[in-house]
Structure formats: structure tokens, C-alpha cells
Amino acid sequence: MLNTDFSRRVVLDTPSLPWCETSAPGVQRRMIEDAGGDDARMTALLRFEPGARQPACRQAFGEEILVLDGAFSDSDGDYPPGTYRKHPPGALSAVVSPGGCTLLVKSGHLDPLDSGRSLVDTRQAQWFAGMVAGLTVLPLSEFGGQHTALVRWAPETFFNPHRHYGGEEIYVIEGVFEDEHGRYPTGTWLRSPHLSQHQPFSREGCLILVKVGHLPASEPR
């Protein structure tokens, strides 16, 4: 069990986490969140050596993948850097990376009724203006109250104080993200509980992956 108390705010500097071997030769991971068990919630960075493959496994509660560098392939196609892919609950997936890659992977958290698939080449997709000047947003997935998106912050962009129903999870892909609680450089993972509040900004500019509405709706303790 790792970072499974959803009532607590968690901040991790993922570049400082060790790479650990997995059961698949040539595949290592940095574990971020793990509830234990094959179908439990899990968030991790996966690193594939050139030619490494991960055997097919069925994702009982779905999976989201963002390609941070390199490229991987599965039975449906090839996915270059910047690709976002969502497998719905029950999907069977196997991964191979001829040239090596690093993936951000999140599984075991999707709504069982969410049967939608999503495939987005974030380098080619259309971005939209955000709620304040300096923000641009690329929606990736939406079902019920769960939303996943990329958000790009221009330097010196400041957002309004706000709360998140169902919590918020952020992974900093580039630059430095900030709020009143601290500074979060590239590779930082943050998870804030249901109804938590903050006032985010970025002085240097940044690119973040944001997921909201997927945490238990209980009052923070």
C-alpha cells in the first residue's frame, strides 16, 4: 500500500524515486501510488529499454497512459512522444517499445461504466483558451465527474482560488508549477483531496497533466 489515504495531500519528487525492476524483462518502474492487487489503483512511471515488452493484461478498471519520451506500440498502433491513450475497463493491452520509452501510467480508477476509448496526439491536437489569460487547455478524457487534460501555463500566469470536488491530481511535465503551498518543478506529482482549495500560478511557465473528480468524495481530515 502506497499513498492510498485519499484524505491527505501528497507531493512527490518523482525523479528522486528509485527505478525498480518489474516482472517484465527490461521494464522498470517508479511507483507513485499503489493500493495493492492486480485490479487496484496504481500510478507509476514505466521505463522500457529498447525492445522491451510488457505482456498483455486485462485492465478491470481501465488505464490511462501518457508517453513522456520515446514511443511504444500495441496491437492497435504506434504511439510517439506526447500520445495520450485511455483503455476502458475490461480492455486487454500489451505494450512493446522497439526504441525504448518512458510512460506515465494510471490504472484502476476509471468508472466501471466508462466504456469510451481515447487516443490523442497532443502535439497535433487543437488546444483551447483557458479560464484566464495565459492558460491553454487540451481536454483528453471526460466521463461523469472525471476529467483529464493537459494545461499549459505561460510565464507569469495566475489563477483564481478554487476547490476541487472529487480531488485533483497533477503531474508536472515541463517547467515549474506553483501555489501558495510551494514550488513544483518538472517531475513533481501532487494529489489534493476532495474539496481541497488552492490558488495556483506559474512564474516560469509550465505544462501539467491534470485529473480531477476521481477521488472519494469525503471531507478532508
Looking at residue 151, its pLDDT comes to 98
Q: What would the pLDDT profile of 17-62 be if each residue is shown by its tens digit?
A: 999 999 999 999 999 999 887 667 899 999 999 999 988 777 778 8
**Residue closest to 200 by CA, chosen among 173, 175, 182, 174:** 182
Answer whether residue 6 shows pLDDT above 70.
yes
177 in Cβ contact with 155 (< 8 Å): no
Q: What would the pLDDT profile of 68-111 be if each residue is shown by its tens digit?
A: 999 999 888 899 999 999 988 877 778 899 999 999 999 988 88
Domains and CATH numbers, the chain: 16-121 (2.60.120.10), 128-212 (2.60.120.10)
Looking at residue 128, its pLDDT comes to 97
Q: What is the Cα–Cα distance from 83 to 44, expressed in whole angstroms?
A: 17
Looking at residue 162, its pLDDT comes to 93
Looking at residue 91, its pLDDT comes to 75
pLDDT band at 220 (very low <50, low <70, confident <90, very high): very low
Looking at residue 219, its pLDDT comes to 44
Q: What would the pLDDT profile of 195-218 be if each residue is shown by its tens digit?
A: 999 999 999 999 999 999 999 775
Q: Is 221 exposed, middle or buried (0-12, 13-18, 19+ CB in 10 A)?
A: exposed
Q: What would the pLDDT profile of 125-150 be if each residue is shown by its tens digit?
A: 999 999 999 999 999 999 988 999 99
Looking at residue 90, its pLDDT comes to 79
Looking at residue 156, its pLDDT comes to 98
Higher pLDDT, 110 or 67: 67
- Reading the block at residue 136, the C-alpha cell is 491553454
Q: What is the Cα–Cα distance from 56 to 99, expressed in whole angstroms?
A: 19
pTM assigned to the model: 0.94
User: What DSSP assignment string belongs to 123-166?
Assistant: TTSPPEE-SSTTEEEEEEEEETTEEEEEEEE-TTEE---EEETT
Q: What is the Cα–Cα distance from 35 to 180, expressed in whole angstroms?
A: 29
Looking at residue 34, its pLDDT comes to 93
